[in-house]
Structure 1
Amino acid sequence: MYTAKGRLDHNAMLQQYSPLVRRLAHQMIAKLPANVEIDDLIQVGMIGLNDALSRYDAAHGVQFETFATQRIRGAMLDELRGADWMSRGTRKQQRMIEAAVHKLEQRLGRPPQESEIAREMGITLAEYQDLLNKVRGTQLVYIEDIGGSDKDDYLDRHVADTEADPLRILNDQRLRRALVEAIKTLPEREQYVMSMYYEQDMNLKEIAAVLGVTESRVCQLHSQSIARLRVKLRGW
């Protein structure tokens, strides 16, 4: 979109690509804890879009949407890195869920039900489900769970569009095979959630509509699925 003088129409471009900012924000929020606000990501993403409009040069041979996506993601990641968004307490709660799942699977010889996990943790079912909402996104499968360290940056591994981005990790054939086998062991509904989220690229709201449940419930099922997968893939 250009003005009469042949320059990019800044306002028109902002309006045209604002849905891209929202889409990237929603993709990223699903990988982050519940305390991160979607509106904050969108606001920062719009700043990244504005920066992309100011810096874009078509002579470099890169499509604007590709260039803008990098700038928008970068702005969101910078904001997240500058905030204490993932507490040690949240990571500890994540490990507690995984430990309970691991113990029950060893004892029962099958995937434990939510009520059984809650009982193992000494909390009510409602408290357990609330905990699943709180640890949303902090449980994505780590490549180091198959034999590496836990010292590299979480954002670079699971949110950033870098060499360590989730798609690159999932394309690792050894991990991919292990994931496929682990997903087959999930309860049926959780298999549906993982398939719709990762294979069909549906967001939580869309999955909720298909399953006829709330978005919060899908979030719980997703968190629980990832906890089960981490138990399967980690070297306990």
Structure 2
Amino acid sequence: MAAVDRLAMYDKKEQTLANARIEEFAPLVKRIAFHMMMRMPASVQVDDLIQAGMIGLIEAAQKYDSSKGASFETYAGIRIRGSIVDEMRRGDWAPRSVHRNSRRIAQAIKAVEARTGRDARDAEIAEELEVDLDEYFSMLQDSNSSRLYSYEETFGEEDSNIDASETSSAFASPFEGIQREGLKKALAEAITQLPERERMVLALYYNEELNLKEIGLVLGVSESRVSQIHSQAAARLKSRLSGWQR
């Protein structure tokens, strides 16, 4: 068999394998999309996330290299999340008012904690903002989706067996890599300083990948309360990591 024929046969086999992976792991895209919906503004539809995630899955199926040591599911999960985050960043789905409220909340938390020397409470933050609790929680939910860093971007792509150049958020320069490493350490430290319930929600959501309902059952609270706690944790982290925000 000629070399060109062997190459064509190899390419066909690789494409068949890639297509099989896409079909097998399509449900993973849906699961990740629904999982990430909690941090998106109301204007974003889950179908938008699924569409972006499918692009990541297709790229993963075409570029996966088993010799790197990571399973395809791990690699695909990274590409899917990265593709969704990139699409949201390009579209900038949050209106200006959401960005403005996000800054106001972070500033209010910082002011309360500087004044009291402890973690700011819901009622105190609302009072600082001069709004009632319901309005504060509504602002929290919207602003959560617009924060200037992403837990997935910082931790979700870390796998020693995966070449960073193969991910959608590869470093543009050595300096950017240093900055990212510094942010990782600062964020990890800030998370350890969160109130216990906020730390638990982050751990259950990001590490254990539980959904709102499952976390609510663990904590004995409603899904909406879990969402509020998550949003509060994100806002608190944003206020404490203001020096890292671009």
- Report TM bin, short chain: 0.5 to 0.7
Q: Is the 8 A contact 1:136 1:220 kept in 2?
A: no
Deviation at 1:87, TM superposition (A): 2.0
2:16 is matched with 8
1:149 is matched with none
Q: Is the 8 A contact 2:194 2:233 kept in 1?
A: yes
1:112 is aligned, of 113, 120, 126, to 120
Deviation at 1:218, TM superposition (A): 1.7
Identity %: 42
Deviation at 1:118, TM superposition (A): 0.7
CA distance in 1, matches of 2:97, 2:53: 28
1:33 is aligned, of 41, 66, 74, to 41
Deviation at 1:26, TM superposition (A): 3.2
Are residues 109 and 162 of structure 1, via their aligned partners in 2, closer, same or farther at CA, if it must alter by over 3 Å?
same
1:162 is matched with 169
TM-score, scaled to structure 1? 0.68
1:200 is matched with 208
Larger deviation, residues 67-76 vs 221-230: 67-76
Q: Is the 8 A contact 1:98 1:231 kept in 2?
A: yes
CA distance in 2, matches of 1:92, 1:58: 40
2:93 is aligned, of 85, 92, 97, to 85
TM-score, scaled to structure 2? 0.66
Are residues 67 and 126 of structure 1, via their aligned partners in 2, closer, same or farther at CA, if it must alter by over 3 Å?
closer
1:3 is matched with none
Deviation at 1:199, TM superposition (A): 3.7
Aligned-partner SS, 2:146: coil
2:240 is matched with 232
Q: How well do the aligned residues superpose, as a CA RMSD in angstroms? A: 4.1
Are residues 22 and 224 of structure 1, via their aligned partners in 2, closer, same or farther at CA, if it must alter by over 3 Å?
same
Structure 2 residues without counterparts, runs of 5 or longer: 1-12, 157-166, 172-176
The aligned runs of 1:139-154 (5 Å cut-off) are: 139=147, 141=149
Q: Is the 8 A contact 1:197 1:207 kept in 2?
A: yes
2:130 is aligned, of 101, 115, 122, to 122
Deviation at 1:40, TM superposition (A): 2.5
- 1:190 maps to amino acid: E
- 1:162 maps to amino acid: S
1:94 is matched with 102
Q: Quick check: which one's helix share is greater?
A: 2
Are residues 100 and 33 of structure 1, via their aligned partners in 2, closer, same or farther at CA, if it must alter by over 3 Å?
same
- 1:194 maps to amino acid: L
Are residues 107 and 42 of structure 1, via their aligned partners in 2, closer, same or farther at CA, if it must alter by over 3 Å?
same
Deviation at 1:170, TM superposition (A): 10
Q: Does 2:22 align with 1:19?
A: no
Q: Does 2:198 align with 1:190?
A: yes
2:6 is matched with none
Q: Is the 8 A contact 1:118 1:128 kept in 2?
A: yes
Aligned-partner SS, 1:226: helix
- 1:17 maps to amino acid: F
- 1:40 maps to amino acid: D
